[in-house]
Amino acid sequence: MATASTHSLIACHDCDFLYRKHPLQFGERATCSRCGALLYQKKRDSLDRTLMLSLAALILFVLANVYPFMTFKISGRVQVSHLITGVEELYAQGFLELSVLVLLTSILLPLVKILGTLYILLPLKLNRRPWKAPQIFRLIEALGPWVMMEVYLLGVIVAYVKLVDMATIVLGIALYSFAALIVLVAAAGMTLDPEEVWERLETTS
């Protein structure tokens, strides 16, 4: 496969020095001999850990979208908001582009990333090669910078601080699930070893 030759060379992220890659033992790291930056590493139990974290993330994603996010009580009136409410409010106030951006970066793309990761890793765990695997794996790798759930959470904290004197605010299950989801998606990104995925994709059929 063409990917085998392109994946045998690696450029240092910091100084662009080019290296030919050598197989590593689990837990080993290769660093740049010129500037000391990390080039690549072989992570232990990468597939299992990423799989478990992604499954847990999927459950939290469902909880974050189904249960109430926050409940406001202002002078006798009770208002329940959900994760999607933030998007709806932006849209209702005329911020169309912003509402689409928040919908993508906080809800849709995180879901695509979680489902895509499971789609690739579950079959690999069973020594099967998922359909269109290289294209889909490249897509979810490219999605990384667009998953920005923490920005949404930051907005929620700002709103909370502004409103906390005016209203009684009850934080819901969805809010805690969303916060935990951010941590799990970040952890899954750290445990994932793209090199191992590429190697397995090349050796399974």
Residues near Zn ion (CB under 5 A) are: 12, 14-15, 17, 32, 34-35, 37
CA 171 to chain centre: 23
Q: What SS3 state is found at 32?
A: coil
Smallest distance, Zn ion to C-beta of residue 25, A:
22
CB of residue 13 vs Zn ion: minimum separation in angstroms? 7
DSSP string, 124-146: HHTT---TTHHHHHHHHHHHGGG
To Zn ion, the closest distance from the beta carbon of 119 in angstroms equals 34
Other C-beta atoms within 10 Å of 113: how many? 22
Q: Which is nearer to Zn ion, 15 or 66 (CB)?
A: 15
Tokens of 86: 């933030």
- Which ranges of 16-170 would DSSP assign to H, the alpha helix? 46-66, 85-92, 96-103, 109-125, 133-143, 149-163
Beta carbon of residue 31, minimum distance to Zn ion (angstroms, whole number): 8
| CA dist., res. 97 & res. 79, Å (int) | 26
**In angstroms, what is the minimal distance from the CB of 55 to Zn ion?**
36
Q: Which is nearer to Zn ion, 19 or 160 (by Cβ)? A: 19
Of 75, 105, 71, nearest to 85 (Cα)? 71
Which is closer to Zn ion, CB of 18 or CB of 126? 18
Which CB atom, from 36 or from 73, has the smaller least distance to Zn ion? 36
Taking the least distance from each CB to Zn ion, the nearer of 20 and 77 is: 20
